[in-house]
Amino acid sequence: MTDLTLRLTQRDQPLRIHLIGVAGSGMSGLALLLLGMGHQVSGSDRVTTAETTRMQNQGLRFYSPHTAEAVQDVDLVVYSSAIRPDNPAYAAATATGIPLLRRAECLAAILHTRKGIIIAGTHGKTTTSAMTAHALREAGLDPSHYVGAEIPILGANARWSEQAEFMVAEGDESDGTLTLYQPTHSLILNIEAEHLDFYRDLDHIREVFTALADQTTGTLVYCHEDGVAHEICSKRENIVTYGWHDATFTATDIRDLKGSSAFTVSKDGEPLGDIELGIPGRHNILNALGAIALADCCGAAFPLVARAMATFAGAKRRFETKYLSANYHLIDDYGHHPTELAATLQTARSLKPTRLIVLFQPHRYTRTQALADDFGKVLQAADRTFITDIYPASEPPIPGVSSETIVEAMQRHGVAPATSVPDLATAHHLIGNLLKPGDLLLTLGAGNVHEAGSRIAADLKILEEMQALMPPGEIDGALYEPMSRHTTMLVGGPAQYWLEPHSFYAFAFLVEYCRARGIPVRVVGRGSNLLVRDGGIRGAVIHPAGGAFSEVGLAPGKGTIIAGAGVRLQKIASFATANNIAGFEWMEGIPGNVGGALRMNAGAMGIETFDQVIRVSFLDEDGVIRTRERAEIEADYRNVPELRRNFALQAVFKGKSDQPLSIKHRLEDSREKRRASQPVSASAGCIFRNPASIPAGKLVDELGLKGRTSGHAAVSDIHGNFIINQGGATAADVLKLIDTIRRKARDQRQLELETEVKIIGEDELMF
């Protein structure tokens, strides 16, 4: 094995090396180093990622999934700590006697060929390692580096420089492998009780950091503010300290620049100069002081280091801005320990949002169980907190430990609202819908919680662009609006984009915008004849509201009324009655609006909408607003073909003059008949069209299905063609009843029932 580790650094004898778990951030960095050193590198993982694709372009031979064949004819196998002995590639290497190295052992062998610099600590390693590598690069020292995340300003998480004197590496303390390193310089940021699935206790962690300090041959830099680090390092002779006071390097005159920071650096009490740091937060100022101290140990000139700090933009998933506009700020951070969360929340608060909303994904069952109380305390700093289910990181579940564990801890420590959202795949719907201008959304955790923030960011960008391209106030909108709020059945999943235009021009703009970008468009009125599936509606749901859409008035000509598409039919009935116009009494009690009535040719009491239409204005398929006379429009029973392709905007209706008392009597008769024959519970109106041979309601009654239930939905006892929501029903409940009725009608009466209610949306969430 000694010969193999020596050959790792000899370009004239390249090795064939296979990395198991190569898609991970640590292993991918190792692959880049080995490729840069000239070795023939292959790797395997469960999944293909953008990183594995990028590495293949640099020469990596990639296998997915893991197989025994992947390690045939290789000289060395390197594996991450997450790999189990039953992994096919690991097991094959063991069985055939191929040498195996842990990731840290391989990294240590590479590091020891240079003046190695190890950055270690419970928190902040990635950011500080990246700062140090960037500072040395800007100072002209061109170091090799190995960092545990993608670093935009460095170009990659790892890089091998053949001529480099120094190599900067992030030292992972999670599995005790810090003891493998014998660096020239070390930086210890902080030491806390963490990774207690591996360590016995804090004393066990102290032992590992003490070994690293003992094995550092050059300068040992440590944070004076950390009590445990001070205890381990303070009595040594080769130390350099940093902190707020009484340290070798200190920061004073700290200024928050809203998104960045500025401060003055002093060494041994003498000012060196000002630093403007490209990322915010006092914890990052401490990280920067550590990087500045290390750079000084390596001989880097302070002005060049200061320039590097000004251009440092952070690491991926380290207080990373995912979206920023005048109204919203979305930030993602990898923090998953209470101390990290406290620092990140403090930094987020320094940006002075109206509300700080947090979506936190706990990492590992053991950590959640051990630190739940601390999480409950630090998350009080948020205005609203949502806790997803635990990211297991290969751990088996612990009974009784879940997202509710942290919610309960928060409730013990304060009044900050906390909600469990176990399903991360749908968490963005709840959170995206409640966002308001001025909010800062912070996604926190070491798992895949960032995916929720990315979805919200992508959709919010489109929503805000729609609104920004129109005059202020022309379009109201929301993300992931529950359609249960906008259907009379009170069921339905979310609409990806809920849009309320207040003018015909705004309506036309939205349709054109969405069509040009391939965004599906639906137009919804009051949702009175609509059933939206539980998966919601992908794309834009346009709900004409306000402005011309909500106006009703007298039109030229005796007994005529003009009304926008958003006007309720009940409002027309009331307006007609107030103006002594008869013929609209049938609209009393119908829950729909003009747009829906026009599209479906809605009717009641023997009258249909188009019996009274004079003309209709609509937006056609080309985005042109047109007006058609009644004679030009085909209107059938519950079907107006032209308005299935085009969008109604406004209509003129005809009535007739009559005595106010006569109109009032007919209005009361209509209201009473409806009250006596139809349920008052939430419904979508008649579910089925009437077959030629029998009314649908009578058929359902004869089939014995009145009162039949599914979940919280039921066939009405009053009218068999109505399905009602008894409270808490889902679209799936309603659809199950519809299927039951149709099947019985087919089997027992040989009748194929057609739904009159419009059923739209997805069975499963797709956005």
The pLDDT assigned to 177 comes to 87
53 is catalytic: no
- What is the pTM for the complete model shown? 0.78
Q: What is the mean pLDDT of residues 70-79?
A: 91
3-state SS class at 593: strand
Which residue, 652, 675, 698, sits at the end of a domain? 675
Q: Encode pLDDT of 724-733 as tens digits.
A: 999 999 999 9
> What's the rounded Cα separation, in Å, for the pair 754 and 745?
11
Of 3-12, 32-41, 302-311, 328-337, the least confident: 3-12
Q: At what angle do helices 302-311 and 282-297 cross, to 10 degrees?
A: 140
Which amino acid, one-letter code, is at 639? N
Q: Note whether residue 555 is domain-resident.
A: yes
> What is the chain's percent helix, strand, coil content, to nearest 5?
35, 25, 40
3-state SS class at 686: coil
Please pick, among 115, 125, 654, 744, the residue that the annotation labels catalytic: 125
Q: Encode pLDDT of 166-204 as tens digits.
A: 999 999 888 888 999 999 999 999 998 888 778 888 899
Q: Note whether residue 722 is domain-resident.
A: yes
Domain shared by 264 and 127, yes or no: yes
Domain shared by 165 and 75, yes or no: no
pLDDT above 70: percentage of residues in the chain: 98
Q: Note whether residue 132 is domain-resident.
A: yes
Q: What is the mean pLDDT of residues 9-15?
A: 77
> What's the rounded Cα separation, in Å, for the pair 145 and 156?
9
Domain shared by 98 and 175, yes or no: no
The pLDDT assigned to 332 comes to 94
Q: Note whether residue 243 is domain-resident.
A: yes
Domain shared by 93 and 143, yes or no: no
Domain shared by 583 and 666, yes or no: yes
Q: Encode pLDDT of 394-453 as tens digits.
A: 789 999 999 999 999 999 998 889 999 999 999 999 999 999 999 999 999 988 999 999
Domain shared by 327 and 250, yes or no: no
126 is catalytic: yes
Q: What CATH number does residue 721 fall under?
A: 3.90.78.10
Which amino acid, one-letter code, is at 443? T
**pLDDT above 80 (res 2):** no
7 phi, psi to nearest 5 deg: -70, -15
Domain of residue 701, residue span: 680-760
Q: Encode pLDDT of 674-700 as tens digits.
A: 776 678 789 998 999 999 999 999 999
Which residue, 75, 103, 131, sits at the end of a domain? 103
Domain shared by 154 and 236, yes or no: yes
Q: What is the mean pLDDT of residues 35-40?
A: 91
125 is catalytic: yes
Q: What CATH number does residue 89 fall under?
A: 3.40.50.720
Q: What CATH number does residue 324 fall under?
A: 3.90.190.20
Q: Note whether residue 469 is domain-resident.
A: no
> What's the rounded Cα separation, in Å, for the pair 129 and 136?
11
Domain shared by 242 and 360, yes or no: no
- HEC letters along 436-482: CCCEEEEEECCCCCHHHHHHHHHHHHHHHHHHHCCCCCCEEEEEEEE
Please pick, among 170, 194, 340, 500, the residue that the annotation labels catalytic: 170
Close Cβ partners of 113 (under 8 Å, ≥ 6 residues apart): 9, 167
At 1, the pLDDT band (50, 70, 90 cuts) reads very low
**pLDDT above 80 (res 673):** no
The pLDDT assigned to 11 comes to 67
Q: Note whether residue 404 is domain-resident.
A: yes
Q: Which residues of 84-111 are buried (b: 16+ CB within 10 A; e: fewer)?
A: eeebbbbebbeeeebebbbbbebbbbbb
Domain shared by 62 and 118, yes or no: no
> Strand 581-582 relative to strand 656-657: parallel, antiparallel, unpaired?
antiparallel
Q: Encode pLDDT of 482-518 as tens digits.
A: 999 999 999 999 999 999 999 999 999 999 999 999 9
Average pLDDT of the chain? 90
The residues with which 117 forms a beta bridge, in sequence order, are: 168, 185
From the CA atom positions of the chain, what is the Rg in Å?
A: 34
Q: Give DSSP secondary structure letters for 562-581.
A: EEETT-BHHHHHHHHHHTTE
Other beta carbons within 10 Å of 675: 12
**pLDDT above 70 (res 360):** yes
**pLDDT above 90 (res 715):** yes
Q: Note whether residue 503 is domain-resident.
A: no
Close Cβ partners of 132 (under 8 Å, ≥ 6 residues apart): 117, 119, 168, 187, 290, 291, 294, 295
Q: Give DSSP secondary structure letters for 235-269.
A: T-SSEEEEESSSSSEEEEEEEE-SSSEEEEEEETT
Domain shared by 380 and 347, yes or no: yes
- Where is 521: in which H helix or E strand? strand 521-523
Q: What is the mean pLDDT of residues 17-28?
A: 90
Please pick, among 126, 177, 250, 366, the residue that the annotation labels catalytic: 126
Structure-model confidence comparison of residues 670 and 46, the more confident one: 46
Structure-model confidence comparison of residues 667 and 380, the more confident one: 380
Which is it for the CA torsion 85, 86, 90, 92, positive or negative? Answer: positive
The residues with which 187 forms a beta bridge, in sequence order, are: 119, 221
Are 343 and 192 within 8 A, CB to CB? no
> What's the rounded Cα separation, in Å, for the pair 546 and 506?
12
Q: Note whether residue 203 is domain-resident.
A: yes
User: Sheet containing 261-267: which strands, arranged edge to edge?
Assistant: 158-159, 144-146, 166-170, 115-120, 185-188, 220-223, 239-243, 249-256, 261-267, 270-277
The token pair at 471 is 């005059």
418 phi, psi to nearest 5 deg: -135, 135
The token pair at 642 is 């032209």
**pLDDT above 80 (res 349):** yes
Domain shared by 405 and 289, yes or no: no
Q: What CATH number does residue 128 fall under?
A: 3.40.1190.10
Which residue, 643, 675, 707, sits at the end of a domain? 675
Number of structural domains in the chain: 5
Domain shared by 702 and 611, yes or no: no
Structure-model confidence comparison of residues 136 and 642, the more confident one: 136
